[in-house]
Structure 1
Amino acid sequence: MAFNNNKGELPFPYEINDLDPEINAELLEYFHGERTGFVQVGPQKYFFPSKYKEAAEYFYNFQARPDDIWIATFPRSGTTWTQELVWLLANDLDYETAQREPLTKRFPFFEFHIFMHDDVKQELLDDNADDPNKMNFIEIISQPGYEFFAQMQQRRFIKTHFPFSLLPPSVTEQQAKVIYVARNPKDVAVSFYHLNRLYKTQGYIGDFPRYWSYFKRGLNPWMPYFSHLKEGWSHRHDPNVLFMFYEDMNKNFPETICKVAKFLGKTLTTEQIDKLATYLNIENFKNNPAVNGKELKEVKVLNSGEAGFVRNGKIGSWQKEFTPKLIAEADQWMADNLQDTDLRFP
């Protein structure tokens, strides 16, 4: 289907098609967070749950502002780490507020509501029926991002995993700042596998080899991975875009702090850089309840018994999940997808 309207808004430019019925049935068997089915969008066949159909035009027509800051990444590429860094830099190192208010409130997720299937939302409401505050929180995170961001008066910090082609055109028109972080797909695949098991809204129940087969075929949200990445890479010279590699961030975080600070027009002392680097050190970071999904776990959006939202942040941990056969498969897949680009991972 293609969108059009008579409201003076931009028509959504891409076809949205239901996934092949046989593949759809298989995925619904293994991903229990979606109950209706999946769609693929545009020539790259970007993959989303069914709710994307009704939301696509609203996302596309969202009005960005010049002072917005967007973190646009493929999932599990250092998104949360980058969000907290950016928020602190843009807010003059306000550690007190950063520790008091969860990152989900300070830096909300633009498209999260499309993953909150109505049936899953009702189950979460039922699970939290004894606590009005928790029920209210579920209602808040279920609200479309294009609605609550439009109502915000203060400066907006927006997290998204949309590729550039699915971002609102107003982001470029208004020259809102966009930070894109890329990460080696082997580490991304392992981290995203664990996240798909952790989130009830994803509800993956299979093993890693099966998940990898979906990953390389682009059959999980925001995929295909390399289509997403190449779009980000093609915008790396845009004046409003900062493109970074997760591996470089991990290798020299103080240098990353300086790079992001410069992009945001901020100047820091050596002492401020050192304090920020310590505050965001992965061991401190994963134990920080303001960023590790504590509020999501409390309302049972996160399943118990799975790896935490912030896992280990290490480079090369993919080796624990990939068998020699899968490594060979992944290496060939990467080589095939990188042959037509100058993009290379550090």
Structure 2
Amino acid sequence: MAEKEKSFVDEINKAMAKSEGLPLKDLLFCYQGTPYPITVCSAETFQALENLEARRDDLVLVSYPKCGVNWLIQIVSDLIFTSTQSKCVSTELPFIECGDPDKYQRMKQIPSPRILATHLSYDCLPKSIFKKKAKILVLFRNPKDTAVSFFHFHNNAPSIPSYSSWDEFFSEFMNGKVSWGSYFDHAVTWNKHIEDENIMVVLYEDLKESLTSSVKQIADFLGFSSTAEQIQSIADRATFQAVKDKAQETHGPVGSLLFRKGVVGDWRNLFTEAQNQEMDAKFKACLGGTKLGAMLKYDVYCKV
């Protein structure tokens, strides 16, 4: 394993170890009204994050948890390597809100272009990202599959506190009492900026259904002058199965949890009719009639 990947995996293992023996009720703390996991986040880090010095050529990758941002990181990392023949060298946890408060000083040593990944909503990002006009890719996944994937992540990881049942998790998810808060609040904040010049929305389902064209769109938005052959080669390496097969090498023991099934429609295995109706109503109330709501194709991916 490369030294960079070993250091990165070590950081993941440290975070996972903090969860061992922790009851679910002690997993989360609130910062400015949103719950975050104490294993990777802290109030001190959030305060330091406000002073992060963004660069014009930073590549900001955003998603709510379990919407596929680790997959997107792999794709963009490959685009960078194909374009510059240099690999990302950071040994930090890739999410800017995760880690110790001193990480932002260390990040100054990372050569451009840097990948800044995050699960944060628009309003919680450091102001320098907008001041520098860095490009922001926002990845969305249909909320039903997101909820199911989030549930399995909690209950399949040996060291992360588990929920007693899917019903318990669903209630917490719908009430925004899970890590990083409400899916719907996250979506509403990003929907307000969906047409901003430096923001592009990517759909998980599009990555699954038309990966090559999605990679091309991402490359064009980020300003990579990749050939058709390079785009195809990146897409071939970035299929969900290909990324999953290398997950142990790239992410250590947590790799199989981050890249579990990757299917569209897995929600049908857990949702009850009452839960379907509850989420359908929530989606309509929060995103009905919005541009993001239309992009998510809820009737295609989330209706029985």
TM-score interval for Structure 1 and Structure 2 normalised by the shorter chain: 0.7 to 0.9
Tell me the amino acid that sits aligned with residue 190 of structure 1: V
Give the number of the structure whose alpha-carbon radius of gyration is greater. Answer: 1
Matches within 5 A, 1:21-60: 29-30=23-24, 34=27, 38-41=29-32, 45-49=33-37, 52-60=42-50
Q: In the alignment, is the contact (CA less than 8 A) between 1:218 and 1:224 conserved in 2?
A: yes
1:40 CA drift (Å): 4.8
Residues 180 and 82 (structure 1), Cα distance of their counterparts in 2 relative to 1, 3 Å cut: same
Q: Distance in 2 between matches of 1:176 and 1:325?
A: 42
Residues 31 and 271 (structure 1), Cα distance of their counterparts in 2 relative to 1, 3 Å cut: farther
Q: Which position in structure 2 is the counterpart of 1:316?
A: 265
Q: Which position in structure 2 is the counterpart of 1:187?
A: 145
1:162 CA drift (Å): 0.9
- Identity rate, percent: 26
Residues 342 and 96 (structure 1), Cα distance of their counterparts in 2 relative to 1, 3 Å cut: closer
Find the residue that maps to 1:158 and give its secondary structure: strand
Q: In the alignment, is the contact (CA less than 8 A) between 1:109 and 1:145 conserved in 2?
A: no
Q: Which position in structure 1 is the counterpart of 2:96?
A: 110
Matches within 5 A, 1:80-119: 80-92=70-82, 97=87, 105=91, 108-113=94-99
Q: Which position in structure 2 is the counterpart of 1:225?
A: 183
Q: In the alignment, is the contact (CA less than 8 A) between 2:57 and 2:112 conserved in 1?
A: no
Tell me the amino acid that sits aligned with residue 110 of structure 1: I
Q: In the alignment, is the contact (CA less than 8 A) between 2:54 and 2:129 conserved in 1?
A: yes
Residue 171 (structure 1) aligned to one of 129, 139, 143: 129
Q: Which position in structure 1 is the counterpart of 2:281?
A: 332
Q: Give the gaps of 5 or more residues in structure 1.
A: 1-27, 114-141
Residue 219 (structure 2) aligned to one of 256, 261, 269: 261
Residues 311 and 289 (structure 1), Cα distance of their counterparts in 2 relative to 1, 3 Å cut: closer
Matches within 5 A, 1:59-208: 59-92=49-82, 97=87, 105=91, 108-113=94-99, 145-199=103-157, 202-208=160-166
Q: Which position in structure 1 is the counterpart of 2:5?
A: none
- Which is further off, 248-257 or 168-177? 248-257
1:63 CA drift (Å): 1.3
Find the residue that maps to 2:126 and give its secondary structure: coil
Aligned length: 272
TM-score (norm 1): 0.70
1:52 CA drift (Å): 3.5
CA deviations on 1:301-320 (whole Å, 9 max, x unpaired) are x49xxx63201211111111
Residues 289 and 143 (structure 1), Cα distance of their counterparts in 2 relative to 1, 3 Å cut: farther
- Which is further off, 280-289 or 145-154? 145-154
Residues 91 and 290 (structure 1), Cα distance of their counterparts in 2 relative to 1, 3 Å cut: farther
Residues 105 and 320 (structure 1), Cα distance of their counterparts in 2 relative to 1, 3 Å cut: farther
CA RMSD of aligned residues (A): 2.8
Find the residue that maps to 1:61 and give its secondary structure: coil
Q: Distance in 1 between matches of 2:278 and 2:238?
A: 35
CA deviations on 1:162-218 (whole Å, 9 max, x unpaired) are 111010000000111211011111011011112223456742242211111000000
Q: Give the gaps of 5 or more residues in structure 2.
A: 1-21, 298-304
Q: Which position in structure 2 is the counterpart of 1:130?
A: none
